[in-house]
Amino acid sequence: MTRWQQIARETVGPDYAQRYAERFRAMAARGDDVHGEAAFVAGLVDPPARVLDAGCGTGRVAIRLAELGYDVLGVDVDAAMLAMARDEAPELDWRVGDLAVLDTGQRFDVVVVAGNTIPLLEPGSLESAAAHLAAQLDEGGLLACGFGLDAAHLPGDCPVTPLADVDRAFAAAGLAPVDRFSTWDRAPYDETAGYVVTLHSR
Ligand SMILES: C[S@@+](CC[C@H](N)C(=O)[O-])C[C@H]1O[C@@H](n2cnc3c(N)ncnc32)[C@H](O)[C@@H]1O
């Protein structure tokens, strides 16, 4: 069982994938903005740029990007989460894959890693995931990652992955820092922030 599956089963239950999809549908129905990540990507490149949604889960980000005209691929290691994505958008490309060994055979303009996928990686796999994410980017391509930096911004008992570790792993993967925010709508980052959105380029 992955770290995500363990946390999701403990905090939500065995039907966690369905409940995750339902939670975002309910938020959208209430009028909440659930597309901050897609809007962030849309501010980086114009459609029909190629975007990899890495750790896509139920497809929330990729589906929105496809609606905006982007050419998207969604990859996740959790078949139950991906089944929700496939149900909602069967016309899109969804693949089961582990970011720590990922080889899509394609190159992307943007790789987006949303929804705490970084701290949910398996222990000891950050460096390998960073290298494999970087390898999916075209020269000059952008990697955008958003994740919590404290317990209030992480699911269940997910451990914090220190930002310095992520910076080191990305540097080792040949990625250069471009910018950093504390929200997907580009609020400035400072060291008290409980959430970070990192932007790197290859
Ligand atoms: C909280 S969900 C977020 C899903 C989606 N990105 C979103 O924002 O709605 C985290 C996802 O990361 C995925 N994940 C964690 N480690 C992964 C890995 N090594 N390879 C692929 N997916 C992974 C989990 O399976 C889960 O679907």
Domain that holds residue 79: 3-201
Q: Along the chain (202 residues), what's the average pLDDT of each consecutive run of 10 residues? A: 97 97 95 96 98 98 98 98 98 98 98 98 98 98 98 97 98 98 97 97 98
Number of domains in the chain: 1
| pLDDT attached to residue 121 | 98
Q: Which atom of ligand 1 is nearest to the CA of 82?
A: 27
Name which of 109, 107, 189, 119 is nearest 155 in CA terms: 119
Find the 109 Cα to ligand 1 centroid distance in Å: 20
Q: Which residue's alpha carbon is at the smallest distance from atom 16 of ligand 1? A: 121
- Whole-angstrom distance, CA of residue 166 vs CA of residue 174: 13
Nearest CA to ligand 1 atom 17: 121
Q: Which CATH number do you get for residue 146?
A: 3.40.50.150
Model pTM above 0.85:
yes
Cβ of 61 less than 6 Å from ligand 1: yes
Whether 182 is in the pocket of ligand 1, judged by its Cβ within 6 Å, is no
